[in-house]
Amino acid sequence: MRIPCPICGSRDIREFDYMGHAQALDRPDPGAGAQAWDDYLHNRDNPAGPTRDLWFHGMGCGAWLVVERDTVSHEVTGATLARDVKGGAA
Amino acid sequence: MAELVARTPCAGLLPIAGGGVRVTEVDPGPMTAIAPFRGKEKTLAGALKRAHGVGWPAPGQSEASGDLRILWFGHSHALLTGVAPKPTLANHAALTDQGDAWAVVQVEGAGTRDVLARLTPLDLRDGAFPVGACARSEVQHMQAAILRVAGDAYRVMVFRSMARTLVHDLQVAMRGVAARG
């Protein structure tokens, strides 16, 4: 498996760490309530098909990426800097 | 008062040779990490040009001027080697002395790419990695930087504490390449 790092180009999976679903970028407001925080912290979908994950290019440029991939075909369809997805200082 | 003696990271480990490859230690001189403050990327590039005559390196690139070399070194991050940074750069970027942090070796000879191919997933072929190209990647399990300085000469950098492991891994790869004739 290879991931197209927006900075480094296409790189081997060995250079990356999986950091969970991209849902982690959507942090609820502090007062959003127990259900929203429970969903944010613990509850994940398990899709058969397209999904969005966070990957850390720790053995490369050090950027956090949002990678779009398909859990059925294993196709990687895109990668974006998490900073550009999230805005702010990510 | 004790007399402290500076030892290079690979002292007593290099040079080694085999498999058409020779590995020597490189002393790149001062090394400074440059990380631009948010929104200061453009003014840093100008300050770098005025202070040292080189531009901010694009991802995967490096630039050399005499003893000075500036390497792209990761996301929003470059490494200046060979000279101490002029103080004016500190107005635009965080400067961190890395002079005692890295082991730097030069791997050269006809078999260099065959040896490195056993250690890193990086595409080192001419089209993907010409002279001057610089990448952060993995060398065995180590976070490394690889710089191509000539047709069959590459510099490999790992954290200083891993110098012995790097030399060991290079030696094993060189034996493997040599054994295949």
- The tens place of each residue's pLDDT in chain A, 90 residues long, gives 899 999 999 999 999 999 999 999 999 999 999 999 999 999 999 999 999 999 999 999 999 999 999 999 999 999 999 999 886 544
B62-65 long-range contacts, Cβ below 8 Å, gap at least 24? B62/B132, B62/B133, B62/B134, B62/B147, B63/B132, B64/B132
Among A7, A9, A12, beta carbon nearest to B75: A7
The predicted structure's pLDDT at residue B6: 85
Contact A60 B60 (CB under 8 A): no
Report, as ranges of residue numbers, the positions in chain B whose pLDDT lies below 70: 181
pLDDT of residue A88: 55
Is residue B175 in some structural domain? yes
Return the residue matching tokens 């180009």.
A9
Say whether both B143 and B115 belong to one domain.
yes
**Per-residue model confidence (pLDDT) at position A64:** 96
Residue ending a domain, among B55, B81, B97, is: B97
State whether B164 and B151 are in the same domain.
Answer: yes
Burial (CB count within 10 angstroms: exposed 0-12, middle 13-18, buried 19+), residue A11: buried
The CATH number of whichever domain residue B163 belongs to comes to 3.30.1360.120
Residue B73: what are its φ and ψ, rounded to 5°?
Answer: -135, 20
CA of A54: how far to CAs of A3, A22, A89, B114, B128, in Å?
12, 5, 16, 33, 26
Under CATH, to which class is A2-27+34-86 assigned? alpha beta
Last residue of a domain, one of B49, B76, B97: B97
Last residue of a domain, one of B44, B74, B97: B97
B112: tokens are: 């260099």
In a shared domain, residues B112 and B91: no
* Residue B2 is assigned to a structural domain of this protein: no
Tokens of B18: 């085999």
Phi, psi torsion values for B160, nearest 5 degrees: -55, -40
Which of A15, A57, A65, A84 to mutate to test binding with chain B, by most B CBs within 10 Å of its CB?
A15
Q: How many domains does chain B have?
A: 2
Considering Cα of A65, then A68, then A71, then A75, what sign does the dihedral take?
negative
Q: Are residues B75 and B136 in the same domain?
A: no
Chain A contact for B7, CB < 8 A? no
Residue range of the domain that includes B164: 16-27+100-179
Contacts of A9 in chain B (CB under 8 A): 60
Considering the domain architecture, whether residues B20 and B42 belong to the same structural domain is answered as: no
Q: Is residue B11 part of a domain?
A: no
